[in-house]
Amino acid sequence: MSETAQVRFQRANFVVRDISRALNFYVDVLGFEVTFEKGHNPDSYSFPVFEIPGEAKLGFVILSAPDQPRVMALTEIKHVDLHPVPYPRRSAIVLDVADPDAVMEGARKLGLKVYEEERLETHDGRVGREIGIVDYDDNLVVIYRIDEAAA
Separation between Cα atoms, residue 68 and residue 41, nearest integer Å: 26
Question: Which domains occur in the chain, in start order?
Answer: 10-80 (3.10.180.10), 89-151 (3.10.180.10)
Q: Share the mean pLDDT of the chain.
A: 94
The pLDDT score that the predictor gives to residue 4 is: 81
CB atoms within 10 A of CB 34: 14
The per-residue pLDDT for range 102-120, each reduced to its tens digit, is: 999 999 999 999 999 999 9
Q: What pLDDT is recorded for position 149?
A: 62
Please say whether the beta carbons of 19 and 59 come within 8 A.
yes
**Amino acid letter at 44?**
S
pTM: 0.91
Per DSSP, helices labelled H in 61-124 are: 100-109
C-alpha separations of 45 from 54, 80, 81, 83, 91 in Å: 12, 17, 19, 21, 21
